[in-house]
Amino acid sequence: MLKYNNVHCTGRVQYIRYFRNNNSLLIVLSLYEPKWGGDRYADYPNIYMEGEMAEKYRSRIKRGDYLTVIGYVEEKEIMTNIGNDLFRRTVGPVIIPYTDMVFEDFGHENVNIVHAAGTVTRVYKNPDQGKKFYIINLRTQVEVDGEKKDAVLRATHFDLDMALEPQVGDYLVFSGTMRTKNNTDDNGRPYKLSSIVAKSVSIIRKEE
């Protein structure tokens, strides 16, 4: 079965920070999508670069720029900004751009799309009334600089009927978006929790 993992995001740079100790660059994009009633969703996906790519863009990109990124999503432990130049070590989905797939001022229309397919490695099921969802770990595959590698991501799928019933070993395909939720840590400090929401989902059951 084909395994893949692609993300396309366009938004305005909300925050940028270069970490000299490991030569990495963290960029937070702000994405806005309209919803019913005239309000808008606000999402803040994390873009992560290392090495030559971090060096290339750390002085070229500034807050307020529009940026388009095409890459893949992977669960990764990084230092994320929680406000006032304070950082919190978190594990969550980060967007890792493909080489030469970062475009400056390419367009101003917000884009937030994730497509992925792979093998289910873990499932958490929450059947509680009003909060019915699955959290699914998926092993996908990406090609980076000509070499294939596994990339694991975690996606949430809301299911009012809890009819999907994904199982470890199933082949799953989804399209969805990067989402951000406001949260607080044990000390009451606010931070933003990133996740992937899988909207359209198809499954091929594993062979018994």
What pLDDT, in 10s, does the model give residues 144-173? 888 999 999 999 999 999 999 999 999 999
- pLDDT, residue 128, reads 85
DSSP 109: S
**Closest to 13 (Cα-Cα) out of 27, 26, 2:** 27
pTM of the model: 0.87
Count of alpha carbons within 13 angstroms of residue 63, beta-carbon side: 5
Task: Count CB neighbours of 198 within 10 A.
Answer: 27
Task: Pick from 77-81, 94-98, 187-191 the range whose average pLDDT is largest.
Answer: 94-98
**What single-letter amino acid sits at 202?**
S
The 10s digit of each residue's pLDDT in 10-28 is 999 998 989 888 899 999 9
For the record, the structure tokens of 95 come out as 């967007």
Tell me phi and psi for residue 85, to 5 degrees. Answer: 60, 25
